[in-house]
């Protein structure tokens, strides 16, 4: 079934069509909200809200747009809204736990674990910009619109976030790690 037909059926409340859309896009939706909000439970709530909002608005979805891009944007907005509402700036400056190896490694999974853990410890605003720019590929113009800041502020936050990540990942990422990342 084509994605367009699937969306039409999902807009009519077809359970299998909705489930199929969910199976296709849930991992990317969950990934972006998890990385922005930095917490599993809040990310799950946030992803669910994103799905509910997306399905509510499905009848207005432009048929020439890509559903994946559309729900991704809804999820990002939902995650940013949730953080604004919560107004929490939890202290994420604590050091990385000791239970992971600090030695440089070429294994992707370990590197991903380290990066995920470090991301959770980057201050909230910096993390939002870092995730949107370096992970999700948004431009500074787009990030500025999402966060209601200037593109210059977005850039400044990004540079600080990269520096903070570098500190947190010190010893994990070296020039030797590049081969592992590209593998």
Partner 1 sequence: MNHLSPDTLARLVDESPSTEERGHLNRCRICREELDALRTQRLALSHLPPLRPPAGDWDRLEPRLRTEGLLRNPAGSGLVARPWLQAAAAILLIVTGVGLGAWLPFDRDRPGGGQAIATASSPTGGFSGETPASILTAMAEPDRELTLEEAGELVQLIERWYLQALLEYRERAEVERGFAPEDPLTRFAALETLMAASQAAVRELPADPFLNGLLVNMHAEREATLRGIQASYTRDWY
The span of 24-32, 75-83, 88-96, 121-129 binding partner 1 (CB under 8 A) equals 24-32
| Residue (90 or 166) nearer to partner 1, CB | 166
Q: Which of residues 120-179 bind partner 1 (CB under 8 A)?
A: 130, 134-135, 137, 155-156, 158-160, 162-163, 165-166, 169, 173-175, 177-178
Which of 17, 71, 79, 129 lies at the binding interface for partner 1 (CB under 8 A)? 17
Q: Whole-angstrom Cα distance, residue 141 to residue 154?
A: 8
**Is residue 61 a contact residue for partner 1 (CB under 8 A)?**
no
The dihedral built from the CA positions of residue 83, 89, 90 and 96, taken in this order, carries a sign that is: positive
Count of residues that interact with partner 1, criterion CB under 8 A: 56
Quick check: 105 and 172 in contact, CB under 8 A?
Answer: yes
| Residue (19 or 90) nearer to partner 1, CB | 19
Q: How far is the CB of 157 from partner 1 (least distance, A)?
A: 10
**Is residue 95 a contact residue for partner 1 (CB under 8 A)?**
no
Q: How far is the CB of 104 from partner 1 (least distance, A)?
A: 10
Place of tokens 């929490």: 88
Helix, strand, or coil here: 57? Answer: coil
Number of neighbouring beta carbons within 10 Å of residue 41: 8
**Is residue 94 a contact residue for partner 1 (CB under 8 A)?**
no
The dihedral built from the CA positions of residue 88, 90, 92 and 97, taken in this order, carries a sign that is: negative
Q: State the residues that interact with partner 1 by CB under 8 A.
A: 1-2, 5, 9, 12-19, 22-23, 26-31, 34-35, 40, 44, 47-48, 51-52, 55-56, 108, 111-112, 115-116, 130, 134-135, 137, 155-156, 158-160, 162-163, 165-166, 169, 173-175, 177-178, 181-182
């Amino acid at each position: 079934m084509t994605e367009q037909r699937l969306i039409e059926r999902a807009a009519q409340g077809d359970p299998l069509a909705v489930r199929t859309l969910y199976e296709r896009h849930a991992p990317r939706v969950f990934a972006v909200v998890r990385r922005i909000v930095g917490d599993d439970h809040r990310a799950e709530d946030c992803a669910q809200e994103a799905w509910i909002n997306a399905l509510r608005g499905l009848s207005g979805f432009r048929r020439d747009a890509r559903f994946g891009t559309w729900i991704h944007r809804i999820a990002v907005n939902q995650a940013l809204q949730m953080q604004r509402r919560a107004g929490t700036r939890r202290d994420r400056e604590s050091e990385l736990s000791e239970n992971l190896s600090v030695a440089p490694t070429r294994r992707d999974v370990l590197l991903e674990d380290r990066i995920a853990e470090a991301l959770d410890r980057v201050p909230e605003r910096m993390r939002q910009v870092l995730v949107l720019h370096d992970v999700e590929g948004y431009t500074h113009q787009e990030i500025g619109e999402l966060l209601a800041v200037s593109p210059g502020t977005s850039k400044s936050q990004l540079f600080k976030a990269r520096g903070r990540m570098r500190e947190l990942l010190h010893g994990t990422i070296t020039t030797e790690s590049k081969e592992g990342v590209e593998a």
